[in-house]
């Protein structure tokens, strides 16, 4: 019996990451919705900021919110923290098992920067820590006192990190590290700010002291950041399945568009949940749709396409030589790459007929997306990609 240990570990961790991620995002979205849906009504208890009525599962729910804390604490107080912690833990474990364990395939691209495996791992780990430290310093500085200025500063921070990642790692490795850095910031917000501040409030109340309202405001600020970063980070974490996102020469700009689009969609729901109607919400989703159109056009634009159209189309034998030299180390009945016992996804390029049968995959993954070969281990050149693409688009002539 053969057990593919790395594949099974990856599957188990990915499933666990999805489960805990859904739990974290679900509770986060619910509480943001609840906070924005609170309304002041006559007859509320003293100290109550607002209330919300809900119906679900055949019953009615009545929720009150105190800005600091009620005059007495109930015997049971539910904390929402482990969803965030385990989402980060499982996500980091996935990063290690896929991108660090197989750094030479998924993280390093010699055409971007020649790194050793250890150098790449240390840069990746250091960037996660550095991202949180810089973010935290910005939030606690004078910049953090103004919402608009802080939003711009955080956008610049993520864009700067994206630019650096795309000039150090492979395309997919860069995008996954942008997502991992944002995810680390979000989880650290819960672990370092939100939960500790809430515990301080509870401790003050138990001691008969008046809690510091600044603690709640600080936790609220970080919770809001997490809410607006959720949609962009979700797309970043699945970006490895969509090479058209990370294969562009200026893919760091694509990160910026993803941030803006995700933020607009989240802002629509937040504004609507807060009672906004008409002009207050009419512009967000159309703007996000325009942003998606710009993203698709930008990611698909190839400035060299017109120039290549005037060049002679290579022969089928030339195309076969390119594919067998650059791709058949993995995609063969007998792969020569020691990392594969069989051709990935069963795709083989041992003869011209097999290449023609999988031509659209080659076009998508090796030409347009440039995601293959993995880590460009066989050093496929841009000229070879262009020639191969031109041959496929021309109908694969003999």
Place of tokens 């990063």: 95
Of the candidates 317, 320, 398, 312, the residue with the CA atom closest to the CA atom of residue 358? 320
Does residue 114 fall inside a structural domain? yes
Q: What is the pTM of this model?
A: 0.83
If asked whether residues 138 and 243 sit together in one domain, one would say yes
Which pLDDT score, from 0 to 100, does residue 304 have?
Answer: 60
* pLDDT per residue of the chain (398 residues) written in tens, 0 to 9: 455 677 788 889 999 999 999 999 998 888 888 888 888 888 887 778 888 889 988 899 888 887 766 667 777 778 888 999 999 999 999 999 989 988 888 898 888 888 999 999 999 999 999 999 999 999 999 998 888 899 999 999 999 999 999 999 988 899 999 999 999 999 999 999 999 998 888 888 777 777 788 888 888 889 989 999 999 999 998 888 888 888 888 899 999 999 999 999 999 998 998 888 888 889 999 999 999 999 999 988 766 655 555 567 888 888 888 888 888 888 888 887 766 777 777 788 878 888 888 888 888 777 877 777 877 778 788 788 888 888 888 888 87
If asked whether residues 176 and 206 sit together in one domain, one would say yes
CA gap 172, 194 in Å, rounded: 31
- Give the tokens for residue 286: 């159309």
Does residue 78 fall inside a structural domain? no
If asked whether residues 150 and 281 sit together in one domain, one would say yes
Axis crossing angle, helix 213-237 with helix 5-37, rounded to the nearest 10 = 140
Q: Are 214 and 192 in contact (CB under 8 A)?
A: no
Query: Total structural domains in the chain?
Result: 2
Which pLDDT score, from 0 to 100, does residue 204 have?
Answer: 81
**63: which strand partners?**
52
If asked whether residues 378 and 233 sit together in one domain, one would say no
Residue where a domain stops, chosen among 271, 300, 329: 300
If asked whether residues 353 and 315 sit together in one domain, one would say yes
Does residue 325 fall inside a structural domain? yes
Longest Cα separation, the chain: 86
Q: Specify the 3-state DSSP secondary structure of 296.
A: helix
If asked whether residues 216 and 338 sit together in one domain, one would say no
If asked whether residues 164 and 233 sit together in one domain, one would say yes
If asked whether residues 108 and 200 sit together in one domain, one would say yes
Of the candidates 153, 155, 156, 162, the residue with the CA atom closest to the CA atom of residue 181? 162
Domain that holds residue 334: 306-393
Which pLDDT score, from 0 to 100, does residue 194 have?
Answer: 92
Show Cβ contacts of residue 389 under 8 Å, excluding neighbours closer than 6 positions: 308, 363, 367, 368
């Amino acid at each position: 019996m053969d057990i593919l240990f790395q594949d099974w570990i990856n599957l188990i961790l990915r499933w666990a990451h999805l489960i805990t991620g859904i739990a974290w995002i679900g509770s986060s979205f619910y509480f943001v919705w609840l906070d924005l849906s609170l309304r002041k009504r006559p007859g509320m208890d003293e100290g109550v900021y607002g209330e919300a009525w809900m119906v679900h599962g055949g019953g009615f729910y009545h929720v009150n919110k105190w800005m600091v804390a009620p005059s007495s604490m109930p015997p049971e107080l539910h904390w929402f923290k482990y969803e965030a912690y385990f989402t980060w833990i499982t996500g980091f474990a996935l990063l290690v098992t896929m991108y660090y364990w197989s750094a030479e395939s998924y993280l390093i691209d010699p055409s971007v920067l020649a790194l050793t495996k250890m150098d790449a791992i240390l840069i990746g780990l250091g960037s996660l820590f550095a991202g949180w430290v810089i973010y935290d310093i910005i939030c606690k500085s004078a910049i953090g006192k103004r919402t608009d200025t802080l939003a711009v500063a955080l956008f610049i921070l993520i864009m700067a990190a994206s630019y650096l990642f795309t000039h150090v790692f492979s395309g997919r490795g860069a995008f996954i590290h942008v997502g991992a850095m944002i995810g680390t910031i979000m989880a650290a917000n819960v672990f370092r700010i939100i939960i500790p501040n809430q515990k301080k409030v509870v401790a003050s109340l138990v001691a008969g002291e008046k809690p510091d309202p600044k603690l709640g405001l600080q936790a609220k600020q970080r919770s809001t950041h997490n809410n607006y970063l959720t949609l962009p980070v979700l797309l970043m974490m699945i970006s490895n399945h969509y090479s058209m996102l990370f294969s562009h020469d200026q893919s760091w700009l694509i990160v910026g568009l993803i941030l803006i689009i995700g933020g607009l969609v989240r802002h629509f729901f937040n504004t609507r949940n807060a009672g906004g109607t008409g002009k207050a919400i009419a512009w967000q989703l159309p703007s996000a749709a325009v942003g998606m159109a710009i993203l698709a056009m930008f990611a698909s634009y190839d400035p060299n396409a017109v120039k290549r159209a005037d060049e002679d189309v290579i022969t089928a034998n030339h195309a076969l030589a390119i594919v067998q030299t650059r791709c058949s180390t993995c995609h063969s009945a007998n792969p020569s790459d020691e990392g594969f016992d069989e051709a990935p996804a069963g795709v083989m390029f041992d003869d011209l007929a097999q290449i023609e049968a999988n031509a659209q995959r080659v076009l998508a993954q090796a030409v347009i997306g440039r995601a293959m070969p993995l880590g460009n281990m066989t050093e496929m050149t841009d000229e070879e990609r262009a020639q191969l693409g031109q041959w496929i688009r021309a109908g694969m002539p003999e």
